[in-house]
Amino acid sequence: MATLGVSEADREAIARFDANVIKPSMTSLVILQFTAEWCGPCKQLSPILDKVAADYASKGVTLVRIDVDQEKMIAAQFRIQSIPTVYTFYQGQPVADLTSYRSEGQIKRVLDQLLQQLKVESEESAAQAEVEPLIAMGEQVLAEGDAERAVSIFSQIHEMAPEHPEVIGGLARALIAAGDVDRARTLLDGVSAELGSQPAVTRARAALDLSSATAAADTSALDARLAANPDDHDARFELASAKAGAGDRDGAADALLEIVARDREWNEGAARKRLLQLIEAQGIEDPWARMQRRRLSALLFT
């Protein structure tokens, strides 16, 4: 914006514009609304922009208003002929004209497209980058069997990112491993429907469902029943639950797959459903989980 031959007042206006619009736009997407006190359509649009800006603040969007009567030089530089006029700025340049959009839905659709195209830095992305290594550390500690320390790590991360699905899922699984099933259930029951559908949370839910299985001190009676009748699926299912409760996932999977091989529809597919719970609780990308899924598929589709 040219500054030669301008008054001190205009220089101050340019400095304000630079401070309020240009500099913030280096890292944020700035919605710039030209308005005036006497403008009726502006008063109708302003609350909508306020709400959109609030909803998108964590995504890196800010809202700035310029009163054309108070900042006449800035309005003239932009050749404002009617108001409201609304632009978006990014990295010092106007990137879109939102003037023709007057509904919340229309404006949000345009912002979503711009945010995706421009890769605007946001609080959400910054927070994600901050917690990812901490999540990895918590998962490693949990995999090593130190459930109490994993609970401590995930609890601290949960304070930083309480709505992060991987943090919620990791904390719930750590609590389950530490024997604090009630706290894990309370945590998972408190998540929203949207968060509850995230893979990390459904994995923790599967682990919670499996936590009801307890290790049997002596499975010899179940072994004897199966020796007498290999088709005693109730006994084999109990044996699988006992092995799962004891942490013998291979033994539990073998028992469940044997039921599927003998009678895949037994008890409305209970063995298949329990095996899928085991797989989900382990994490579907885990090598062991992938192997068990292949074994199950081989039985079901050959």
Q: What are the residues facing 61 on neighbouring strands?
A: 29
Asked whether the predicted pLDDT for residue 248 surpasses 60, the reply is: yes
Judging by beta carbons within 10 Å of its beta carbon (0-12, 13-18, 19+), is residue 142 exposed, middle or buried?
Answer: buried
Structure tokens at 144: 């090593």
| pLDDT category of residue 256 using cuts at 50, 70 and 90 | very high
In this prediction, residue 210 carries a pLDDT of 87
In this prediction, residue 214 carries a pLDDT of 63
Asked whether the predicted pLDDT for residue 153 surpasses 90, the reply is: yes
Instruction: List b or e across 259-288, with b for residues whose CB sees 16 or more CB atoms inside 10 angstroms.
Output: bbeeeeebeeebbbebbbbbbbbbbeeeee
In this prediction, residue 221 carries a pLDDT of 93
Asked whether the predicted pLDDT for residue 207 surpasses 60, the reply is: yes
- Average pLDDT value over all residues in the chain: 90
Stretch 243-265: mean pLDDT, rounded? Answer: 92
Q: What is the pLDDT of residues 99-151, one digit of tens each?
A: 999 899 999 999 999 988 887 766 666 667 788 899 999 999 999 999 999 99
Structure tokens at 155: 């609890």
Asked whether the predicted pLDDT for residue 4 surpasses 70, the reply is: no
In this prediction, residue 160 carries a pLDDT of 87
| pLDDT category of residue 17 using cuts at 50, 70 and 90 | very high
Structure tokens at 233: 């699926």
Can you say how many angstroms the Cα of residue 206 is from the centroid of all Cα atoms in its chain? 18
* Catalytic-residue membership of 217: no
Q: Which of 13, 30, 31, 39 is catalytic?
A: 39
Structure tokens at 192: 């929203």
pLDDT above 90 as % of the chain: 74
Q: Which of 21, 29, 42, 278 is catalytic?
A: 42
In this prediction, residue 255 carries a pLDDT of 95
In this prediction, residue 66 carries a pLDDT of 95
In this prediction, residue 48 carries a pLDDT of 96
Please check whether residue 89 is in contact with residue 21, taking contact to mean a CB–CB distance below 8 angstroms.
yes
Residue 8's contacts (CB-CB under 8 Å, 6 or more residues apart) are none
* Catalytic-residue membership of 39: yes
**Structural element, H or E, at residue 90:** strand 85-90
Q: Within a 10 A sphere around the Cβ of 197, how many other Cβ atoms?
A: 11
**pLDDT: is 207 or 247 the higher one?**
207
Residue corresponding to tokens 């404002």: 80
| pLDDT category of residue 27 using cuts at 50, 70 and 90 | confident
Q: Is 297 helix (H, G, I), strand (E, B) or coil?
A: helix
